[in-house]
Structure 1
Amino acid sequence: MRLLLLSGRRLAAALPALLLILAGLFLLLQLAPGDTVDALVAQVGGADPTMIEELRRYYALDQSTSVRLWDYLWRLAHLDLGQSAIYGKPVASVIAERLPVTLLLMGTSLAFAIPVGMVLGIVSARRVNRWQDTVISLLGLLCYATPSFWFGLMGVFLFSIYLDWLPSGGFETIASGLTGWARVLDIAHHLVLPTLTLALIFLTIYLRIMRASMLEVSTLDFVRTARAKGVPETRIVVRHVLRNALLPLVTLIGLQTGTMLGGSVVVESVFALPGLGRLAYESVMQRDLNTLLGIVFVSALLVIAINFLVDLLYARLDPRIAGEG
């Protein structure tokens, strides 16, 4: 029951934050040069003033900022994200087409980065100040200091151009007609490079956090007591050290959800993936404000949902959190 109350409070606190994010972004976009009509006119090579005025009236750009903000929030309360000016269909449909690609990319990246980072962090902590710790720490520092787009470009050069092992971009083979498991394997083949590119930087962060947490927990009194009682070292690491060392890592995973969404913009652009990140970039370049606001809304909901699940997991790992609730 206490866990449910804690969850309800976290969700209630997230709603004002979501409202402030959307309202703040809407106001900031009004300060940016150009608007949807300017982008449309530039695409067709120009238009007469009468047509431009009609377009501004059609997209409600002739109204004041406060009126448009209120209208947007009112439509949002009814789950209406508006119409995409560039794609000519509802924003919800555009996002629904792109969201699975981003979720799949994020899911596979996390599924690779978390366990590998944990294992390397545990090995580094168990072999602290030895050659294993030095090698792992050095490689982690190099990966963390290297921009993700450079990893992507070098991966394309090495594995796609030079070795011809992996596709250089795209989500699947165009017009292949594949279905079932053949299509799944084709998509997995295309996602190898993007997944590794996005996962490497986060893997190094998880590695460092797990190493530091393991070293810190290993010096606590209850661990020394377990060793004094003769508890096997493997059981001490798994049952006592690892469970407590996971708490900072779980928190970090929730906090970095937004960072991973931002990183997907770069990765999807490098590998031409039709996901939310690339859609956000195209919306900014084409001044499609409705689509951009819809992407931010969906991304904020995704971050809130993941942080909510992380809070529940954190309370499960540390019962004191639920007890204080």
Structure 2
Amino acid sequence: MRQYIIRRVLLMIPTLLGASILIFFVFALTPGDFVDTNLKLTPQRAQELRVLYGLDKPIIERYFIWIGNVLRGDFGFSFKYQEPVSDVIKHYLWNSFLIAFVSSILTWCIAVAVGVFSAIKRYSWFDTLVTLGVFAAMSFPSFFIGLLLIKYFALDWKVFPVGGMTTTGSELAGFGHWVDVAKHMFLPVLVLTMLSVGTLTRYFRTNMLEVIRQDFVRTARAKGLKEKVVVYKHALRNALLPAITLLGFELPALFGGAIITEKIFNWPGIGRIHMEALAFRDYPLLMGLTMLLAILTVVGNLIADVLYGVADPRVRLK
């Protein structure tokens, strides 16, 4: 196991290096930049800014300067926010993590419970309703569901705030502050959960149907074990093993932000500033965000592989 982890970590180096080359050149070769889009600048001032930000240097030289700074933890300077990219990311990253983490917990709990019960009660009225609900939730775009929830819960019934993270002008602290944040995050969390739970429910239902047909489940039943023990101790444990692979994609999703949902609810997260940086062509911030997601993806895949080997003794990591 130790040698496997060491080899995977060493393989991460060329993978991330290739990702950095791709990320930098995609943004660097995109026509136009922050200076070009600012029509208020005189030609002299525009040239001064190009020299200041290093945009006048050859693209190869700019890449080596950028990757050298990244290795030291410096992702550059944001044109839009006029502060280091790392500070901008730190400021908004945990806001996105908050709603994504809560949504992921709810999604997995609901998907496991509903998916398993739907597999046990296959072709029943419950299974039919779940199937209809799953496809209905998956068919609506996030902006439509978000606007619909805002209309009913925020405007008509006035149960939850329209958007933002805290009440404007609020000076609440401690427990009161977190209650206020919880009220504001309810609707975006509900949208993210509705969009994610459908696919994951079908995934667990399919896995459970495959497992309950296998010989070891029939053997457990033949021994006279109770149905609950057969389902939840033997079948469910094996049905959850393939889901560990999905955990590798959860890590970047937790920090990547939900672009459309955060924009609709005016939630100050990574997804929203990603859209704003794209509109302003703030390429240093875009490269920093994309590089961070690349790192999280590689690390998430490593964690998933290791956890799969730990959870299933039949898997030998070599």
Same fold at TM > 0.5: yes
State the superposition RMSD in angstroms. Answer: 1.8
Unaligned runs of 5+ in 1: none
CA deviations on 1:170-223 (whole Å, 9 max, x unpaired) are 111122111111111111111111111112121111100100000000011111
CA deviations on 1:108-133 (whole Å, 9 max, x unpaired) are 11011000011010110010011110
Counterparts of residues 1-325 of structure 1 (less than 5 Å): 2=1, 4-39=2-37, 41-42=38-39, 46-255=40-249, 257-258=251-252, 264-321=258-315, 323-325=316-318
Unaligned runs of 5+ in 2: none
CA deviations on 1:248-279 (whole Å, 9 max, x unpaired) are 22212423554666661111111111111111
The whole-number CA distance in structure 1 between the counterparts of 2:297 and 2:177 is 29
Q: TM-score, normalised by structure 2?
A: 0.94
Mapped contact 1:243–1:317 kept (Cα < 8 A): no
Name the CA shift for 1:148/1:38 in 2 (closer, same or farther; >3 Å): same
Q: TM-score, normalised by structure 1?
A: 0.92
Percent identity between matched residues is 34
Mapped contact 1:261–1:277 kept (Cα < 8 A): no
Mapped contact 1:151–1:197 kept (Cα < 8 A): yes
Name the CA shift for 1:151/1:12 in 2 (closer, same or farther; >3 Å): farther
Name the CA shift for 1:215/1:184 in 2 (closer, same or farther; >3 Å): same
The whole-number CA distance in structure 2 between the counterparts of 1:10 and 1:149 is 39
**69-78 vs 306-315, which moves further:** 306-315
What's the secondary structure of 1:320's corresponding residue?
Answer: coil
Name the CA shift for 1:315/1:227 in 2 (closer, same or farther; >3 Å): same
Q: Which runs of 4+ in 1 moved over 6 A?
A: none
Name the CA shift for 1:263/1:152 in 2 (closer, same or farther; >3 Å): farther
The whole-number CA distance in structure 2 between the counterparts of 1:262 and 1:81 is 17
The whole-number CA distance in structure 2 between the counterparts of 1:158 and 1:17 is 47
**251-260 vs 99-108, which moves further:** 251-260
Mapped contact 1:198–1:263 kept (Cα < 8 A): no
Mapped contact 1:100–1:275 kept (Cα < 8 A): yes
The whole-number CA distance in structure 1 between the counterparts of 2:298 and 2:178 is 29
